[in-house]
Amino acid sequence: MTKIKLASKRLNLRLIVVADLDAIHELHSLPETDTFNTLGIPENIQETKSIIEGWVKANNESEPKNLTFAIEQAVTKKFTGLIALKIGHKKFKNAEVWYKLHRDFWGKGFGTEALNAILTFGFEELKLHRIEAGCAVDNIGSIKVLEKVGMTKEGRKRQVLPLKSGWSDNFEYAILDTDKRKNHPPKNT
């Protein structure tokens, strides 16, 4: 599975490699991207390296359960963020997605575009039935992205996210392979 590359109109998604360390460290070090993230700002680049080494190892398993992609702009190859798919048990045909975009690319539709590419991959290539996502209830940007692709808000978990600002509730979203997707480009024929 290490050869997975996904593309959309403006973006390429490729599995991360250790050479992405500097870009990922910068992303994780931004206070704005840390606001609704439980990972926290790394103390140093070595901490980031230990995190991404685990992600790279997981990407290279014969049957990976966690796939972490770098989001790059198609033309410039500029690192824009991360998106990942945590694949559940085969019997349930489900997965969870998470993403984190660099603040310079917020509000430009890149999150929606990257998420649509992952949903297409999950439903069409992996033959998943359900893809879930969660986000802090105050994370308006992420809520908009999830709803733009057609994910349904299914519930709210109380005080489950340990954020810097304190415990936060989390909205639970999901989309099924049978649901109508929004902002989804037609299949290539």
Q: Please, are residues 189 and 158 in contact by the beta-carbon 8 Å criterion? A: no
Q: List pLDDT tens digits, range 60-105.
A: 998 889 999 999 999 999 999 999 999 999 999 999 999 999 999 9
Residue 18 confidence (pLDDT): 95
**Rounded to two decimals, what is the model's pTM?**
0.93
Q: How confident is the model at residue 14 (pLDDT cuts 50, 70, 90)?
A: very high
Give burial (CB, 10 Å; 0-12/13-18/19+) of 114. buried
Distance in angstroms (rounded) separating the CA atoms of residues 90 and 35: 33
Does pLDDT of 185 surpass 70?
Answer: no
117-150 confidence digits (pLDDT tens): 999 999 999 999 999 999 999 999 999 999 999 9
DSSP the chain: -TT-EEE-SSEEEEE--GGGHHHHHHHHH-HHHHTT-SS---SSHHHHHHHHHHHHHHHTSSS-SEEEEEEEETTT--EEEEEEEEE--GGGTEEEEEEEE-GGGTTTTHHHHHHHHHHHIIIIIS--SEEEEEEETT-HHHHHHHHHTTPEEEEEEEEEEEETTEEEEEEEEEEETTSPPSS-PPPP-
- Quick one: fold of 5-131? Aminopeptidase (3.40.630)
